Amino acid sequence: MARQVHLMVVGSANTDMVVSAARIPAPGETILGGEFVMVPGGKGANQAVAAARLGARVTFVGCVGADLFGNATRDNLRKEGLDTAWVVEDPKAASGVALIAVDSSGQNAIVVAPGANMALRPEHVDRAMDASGDLDGLVLQCEIPLDTVDHAVRRAHAASIPVVLNPAPACTLPQGLLSCVSCVTPNESEASVLTGLDTSTSDGAVEAARALLSMGAASAVVTLGKDGAVVATHSGVERIAPYAVEAVDATAAGDCFTAALACAWLNPSDAGVRGAGVEHERLVRAASYASAAAAVSVTRLGAQPSLPTFNEVAAFIEQAR
Ligand code: RIB
């Protein structure tokens, strides 16, 4: 039997407070929405749970507060089958919380109170990496301190562990960091912040994907929501066609995309297949798989409740043929 891909996800864990409404309120406005739901979220935990549901063995490194939300977060991650030995607790900070409004087209507006997520330090990553044996990849986002992201990426790169970096929320990355990244996965607005280019058109997104390679990334996948994605490697650029679905909530779609891409791309059953053209094809296939997984996620409300299993994605791809 093929060995499971082993990923370490370093990142945030939040409790999401979600309200659906006809539209996102304007500044200063109060509107009435629908029911309130509270679900597990946080970009890091979402990616970790998505990868586990898609069949990966996942070690999660994060930080929660010594409160009810922190305990619930840890219990939930354990229930999802993750290794939570490296989820640390900050006794002085509250656990991360996100306030989310979702409109009738599935678009959202999110405010995060990161709390304990900002207490995740490089030494926490070091302890986890020292103890975790062989890893097939490291997956990160930017909802934790950037110096921790920087440290984890550089350490993995030095150990020849492939790094998938989802630069969300949009930020300016530390100088030279992209040179240590195997694949960077921004959405169009994050790609615009990183490159300074206008990504509002498909050609602009292609240009930004190429620019990310010039900035040092070994490959880039720019996600474009309902317009698909653009994959760029030094062997070429390819557009990934979108899957058309009825959108309910786009929350965590990007997290699901990055996790699914990492699971498919870093799968050890493909190890040993080498060569630039082959690597390009493998990334294109992984991005297409990730696009299907993300499409399933947008048909459901909430971050982690929306993340599909391996079998659900397989069935979705089969019926979309
Ligand atoms: O990417 C979606 C996530 O962003 C939510 O789950 C919320 O917690 C914020 O981190």
For the entire predicted model, the pTM comes to 0.96
Whole-number Cα distances in Å, 87 to 60, 67, 78, 79, 270 = 7, 14, 11, 14, 30
Q: How many residues does the chain have?
A: 321
Distance 277 CA to ligand 1 centre (A): 35
Distance 251 CA to ligand 1 centre (A): 7
User: In this predicted structure, what is the pLDDT of residue 64?
Assistant: 98
Distance 211 CA to ligand 1 centre (A): 27
pLDDT tens digit at each of 321 positions of the chain: 678 999 999 999 999 999 999 999 999 999 999 999 999 999 999 999 999 999 999 999 999 999 999 999 999 999 999 999 999 999 999 999 999 999 999 999 999 999 999 999 999 999 999 999 899 999 999 999 999 999 999 999 999 999 999 999 999 999 999 999 999 999 999 999 999 999 999 999 999 999 999 999 999 999 999 999 999 999 999 999 999 999 999 999 999 999 999 999 998 876 544 556 678 999 999 999 999 999 999 999 999 999 999 999 999 999 998
List of residues 6+ apart from 13 with CB closer than 8 A: 40, 41, 42, 44, 45, 60, 62, 63, 64, 73, 77, 87, 95, 96, 117
| Residue carrying structure tokens 């996620």 | 297
What is the Cα Rg of the chain in Å?
Answer: 18
Distance 115 CA to ligand 1 centre (A): 14
User: In this predicted structure, what is the pLDDT of residue 279?
Assistant: 83
List of residues 6+ apart from 189 with CB closer than 8 A: 170, 199
User: In this predicted structure, what is the pLDDT of residue 15?
Assistant: 98
151 lines ligand 1 (CB under 6 A): no
- Count of alpha carbons within 13 angstroms of residue 11, beta-carbon side: 30
User: What whole-number distance in Å separates Cα of residue 71 and Cα of residue 54?
Assistant: 24
Q: Select from 77, 97, 139, 251 the residue to mutate for testing ligand 1; criterion: most ligand atoms less than 8 Å from CB.
A: 251
User: In this predicted structure, what is the pLDDT of residue 1?
Assistant: 61
CB 10 within 8 A of CB 42: no
Ligand 1 atom with least separation from CA of 253: 1
Looking at 3.20.20.140, 3.40.50.970, 3.40.50.300, 3.40.1190.20, the CATH number of the domain 6-12+42-94+118-320 comes to 3.40.1190.20
Tokens of 271: 């190890």
Q: Does the annotation count 255 as an active-site position?
A: yes
User: What whole-number distance in Å separates Cα of residue 97 and Cα of residue 250?
Assistant: 18
Q: Atom 10 of ligand 1 has which residue's CA nearest to it? A: 42
